Amino acid sequence: MQPDQPVLLITGASSGIGAATARIAHQAGYRLVLTARSEDKLKSLQAKLGGHSKTLALTCDVQQKEDLDQVVKQTLNTFGQLDAVFANAGRGGTPGGFTDADAEQWKEMLLTNVLGVAHTIQSTLPAIKESSGHILITGSVAGRVPIKGSMYSATKWAVSGIGYNLREELKGTGVRVTLIEPGMVNTPFFDEEPDHALQDEDIANAVLYALSQPPHVDVNEILVRPVAKSS
């Protein structure tokens, strides 16, 4: 065990919040396990973050639990420990509301945003319990308020429920659970850069804040919104 070089696994790490978190965690001394479906982007990020000795880059589809089981196996074989996991992989919303949205796109979003988080937790939990580690989950402001016709919002309500219920299950184990709940963030979800949004580094800083707390401090939720502009 190398407590001065903890190991952090990030899903959805090839871009956006995941990649920003990887960069900031690397600066903080973490060894990293980066997963996503895009191998080229992962390899490029790995090269910038210490190469093979500091960063594993593993392709993974969070819809497939077998992929995540293999990621955990490779993590333990390489680093010998797993101290934290950031269940961050997700898909954005679709237009059309409940009346006209593409149901196939709903299916992909539900499988990634909800089942993918559950798979990530179940696959990593034995190693996280062993290290008395930390599970962080990307929720959303959209998981706190109703949004007209939004299945995406419904998935994030489910993610909030996963976080709350997991924390209850893990009471007394020493494992911490943190929901990271951003407002609008300028990520690859958007075709055009939004005028009024957070940057992915802002959310990465929130992740590192939760991770940096002493073991007796469990930061349950971090809600991060952009400063409101005057009308």
DSSP string, 58-124: EE--TT-HHHHHHHHHHHHHHHS---EEEE-------TTHHHHS-HHHHHHHHIIIIIHHHHHHHHH
CA distance 33 to 70: 12
- Per the listing, tokens 């924390």 go with 167
How far apart, in whole angstroms, are the C-alpha atoms of residue 225 and residue 105? 27
For residue 120, give both structure tokens. Answer: 């990530």
Helices and strands: H and E segment counts in the chain: 8, 9
User: How many residues appear in the chain?
Assistant: 231
DSSP state of 5: S
Task: Say how far apart CA 207 and CA 88 lie, in whole Å.
Answer: 11
Q: Is 152 a catalytic residue?
A: yes
Residue 193, C-beta contacts closer than 8 angstroms, at least 6 positions apart: 186
* Catalytic hit among 30, 152, 164, 209: 152
Nearest Cα residue to 42 out of 72, 19, 63: 19
Residues with a known catalytic role: 152
